[in-house]
């Protein structure tokens, strides 16, 4: 093991299903981001099936070149969950049934009115001598073991459980050890602009910082700039701040948030800060905007509700949209969007309401209103309102997603005072 390699990590995803065409390991993406921040490069990743012999071979191979091996998956109750048994064999330690933990599991099942299935008992078999990593979100705990200077961190495959264990029990320890070199990363998030439009704006800044990796990533409705630097903590922080300042100068209020702060959270914060309530009226997005808004814990404090009106009769009956508008301009029109927003605002007695109506495809498009045409409306307690029209590319799911993001971006700009009703 070389000096450089001493700080490196490898990630092994365990599960036969991830060797087929239908499922992919995604835990390693999150893990490598977190490890990178601590200056621990991931030098190998692999997927191996639910086979104790193959798992042991994989660990032996990985252990030759890294200090840390992270495994994910195979901690469940079923017959093909073999990770703990395989690693016990690899380490040459025995499994010890933890009776206290077993009792706790039985209690948890009983509380929900079930008897614990017999197969779950094996989740109480702990690796002798291992540090147990508590799992607040699920049944199976993780483990942290050491063999010949290589540390193996055993994590569940369920992403939320894996993340929680890392955040609470693993990353704090690694952070303490990192001491010297760290990685620092900042994500700047922009909605309502295309990738090339963002790229044109930031080209000069890009050129200035060309020695540090800046990546542009696009997803439906959103563009992200990923800035990353490595170095001593203070120097890395200072450099990242300077880079960020340069990018913020050219992008200004187009940036809606940073890092993990998504648009629904930003909008939620702005609504809470200004003490306003929200209602929605959705057609082509079919509940996706409401679903994004209510993904945020505590959203019941500002979100009153939404009416999803796929049928025209519902637009009239539930939102009070004038049938004349639907006949003359059509359900996908600026007039209909504004009437839907006004109707939702009134029905829910909300401070502000946003509407979306459009053609997500694959059918329903015309020369005049092609698939991807989407109208947005915003109404508040005043008489005025905001209307917007966009034409999105992509398939049904991309159009729906992009339209949902755009609806939230319209609301954000209104709440931030960047758009005023006319």
Residues 262-281 close enough to bind a second copy by CB under 8 A: 280
Q: Is 327 in the site for a second copy (CB under 8 A)?
A: no
Q: Does 199 bind a second copy (CB under 8 A)?
A: yes
Contacts of a second copy in 335-394 (CB under 8 A): 347-349, 361-364, 391, 393-394
- 36 in contact with a second copy (CB under 8 A): yes
Residues 6+ apart with CB under 8 A from 46: 10, 11, 12, 13, 58, 62
Task: Name the burial class of residue 270, with classes exposed (0-12), middle (13-18) and buried (19+) by CB atoms within 10 angstroms of its CB.
Answer: middle
DSSP 366: -
* Max Cα distance, the chain (Å): 78
Q: Which of 98, 244, 255, 294 binds a second copy (CB under 8 A)?
A: 294
Q: Which is nearer to a second copy, 66 or 130 (CB)?
A: 66
CB 84 within 8 A of CB 133: no
> C-beta of 64: minimal distance to a second copy in Å?
8
Q: d(Cα 164, Cα 136) in Å, to the nearest integer? A: 7
- The 86-125 site mask, x for binding a second copy (CB under 8 A), equals --------------------------xx---x-xx-----
Q: Does 255 bind a second copy (CB under 8 A)?
A: no
Instruction: Classify each residue of 299-331 as buried b or exposed e, where b means 16 or more C-beta atoms within 10 Å of its C-beta.
Output: beebbbebbbbeebeebbebbebeeebbeeebb
Q: What angle do CA 37, 222, 228 make, to 5 degrees?
A: 20
Map the footprint of a second copy across residues 212-251, applying CB under 8 A: 213, 215-218, 226, 228
DSSP state for residue 117 in the 8-state scheme: P
Helix axes 263-274, 396-415, angle to 10 degrees: 30
> Applying CB under 8 A, which part among 126-134, 266-274, 312-320, 375-383 lies near a second copy?
312-320
In terms of CB distance, is 128 or 391 closer to a second copy?
Answer: 391
Residue 134 found at the interface with a second copy (CB under 8 A):
no
Evaluate the CA torsion angle 108, 112, 117, 119 in order and state its sign: negative
Please, which residue, 113 or 275, has the CB nearer to a second copy?
Answer: 113
DSSP H helices, 125-257, are 159-165, 171-178, 195-208, 233-251
Closest CA to 127 of 154, 96, 91, 86: 96
Q: Which stretch binds a second copy (CB under 8 A): 24-32, 125-133, 169-177, 376-384?
A: 24-32
- The Cα–Cα gap between 172 and 151 comes to 15
Among 186, 206, 231, 416, binds a second copy (CB under 8 A): 206
User: To the nearest whole angstrom, how small is the minimum distance from the Cβ of residue 366 to a second copy?
Assistant: 14
The verdict on 418 binding a second copy (CB under 8 A) reads no
DSSP class of 112? T
The CB-of-62 to a second copy minimum distance in angstroms stands at 9
Beta bridge partners of residue 191, listed in sequence order? 222
CB of 421 to a second copy, least distance (A): 24
**Using the rule CB under 8 A, is 289 a contact of a second copy?**
yes
Among 70, 143, 256, 303, indicate the residue that binds a second copy (CB under 8 A). 303
Interactions with a second copy, residue window 41-80 (CB under 8 A): 41-51, 54, 57-58, 61, 64-65, 76-80
- In the complex, minimum distance from the CB of residue 151 to a second copy, in angstroms, rounded to a whole number: 19
Closer by beta carbon to a second copy, 130 or else 290? 290
């Amino acid at each position: 093991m070389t000096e450089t390699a001493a700080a490196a990590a490898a990630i092994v995803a365990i599960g036969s299903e991830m060797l087929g065409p239908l499922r992919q390991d995604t835990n390693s993406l999150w893990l490598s981001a977190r490890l990178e921040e601590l200056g621990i490069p991931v030098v190998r990743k692999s997927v191996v099936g639910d086979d104790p012999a193959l798992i042991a071979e994989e660990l032996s191979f990985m252990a030759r070149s890294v200090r840390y091996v992270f495994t994910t998956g195979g901690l469940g109750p079923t017959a093909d969950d073999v990770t703990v048994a395989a690693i016990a064999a690899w380490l040459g330690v025995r499994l010890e049934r933890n009776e206290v933990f077993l009792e706790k599991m039985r209690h948890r099942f009983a509380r929900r009115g079930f008897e614990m299935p017999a197969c779950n008992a094996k989740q109480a078999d702990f690796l002798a001598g291992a540090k147990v990593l508590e799992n607040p979100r699920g049944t199976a705990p993780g483990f942290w073991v050491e063999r010949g200077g290589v540390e193996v961190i055993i994590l569940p495959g369920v992403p939320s459980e894996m993340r929680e264990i890392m955040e609470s029990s693993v990353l704090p320890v690694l952070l303490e050890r990192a001491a010297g070199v760290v990685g620092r990363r900042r994500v700047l998030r922009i909605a309502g602009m295309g990738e090339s439009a963002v790229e044109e704006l930031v080209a000069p800044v890009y050129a200035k910082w060309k020695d540090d990796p800046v990546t542009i990533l696009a997803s439906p409705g959103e563009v992200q700039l990923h800035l990353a630097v490595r170095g001593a903590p203070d120097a890395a922080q200072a450099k990242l701040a300077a880079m960020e300042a340069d990018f913020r100068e050219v992008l200004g209020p187009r940036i809606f948030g940073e890092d993990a702060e998504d648009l629904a959270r930003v909008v939620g914060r702005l609504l809470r800060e200004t003490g306003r309530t929200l209602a929605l009226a959705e057609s082509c997005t079919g509940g996706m905007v409401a679903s994004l808004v209510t993904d945020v814990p505590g959203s019941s404090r500002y979100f009153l509700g939404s009416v999803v009106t796929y049928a025209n009769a519902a637009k009239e009956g539930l939102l009070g949209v004038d049938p004349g508008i639907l006949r003359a301009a059509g359900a996908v029109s600026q007039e209909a969007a504004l009437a839907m927003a006004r109707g939702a605002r009134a029905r829910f007695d909300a401070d502000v309401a946003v509407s979306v109506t459009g053609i997500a495809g694959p059918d329903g498009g015309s020369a005049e209103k092609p698939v991807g045409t989407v109208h947005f409306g915003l109404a508040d307690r005043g008489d005025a309102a905001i209307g917007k029209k966009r034409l999105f590319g992509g398939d049904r799911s991309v159009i729906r997603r992009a339209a949902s993001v755009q609806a939230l971006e319209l609301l954000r700009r209104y709440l931030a005072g960047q758009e005023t009703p006319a």
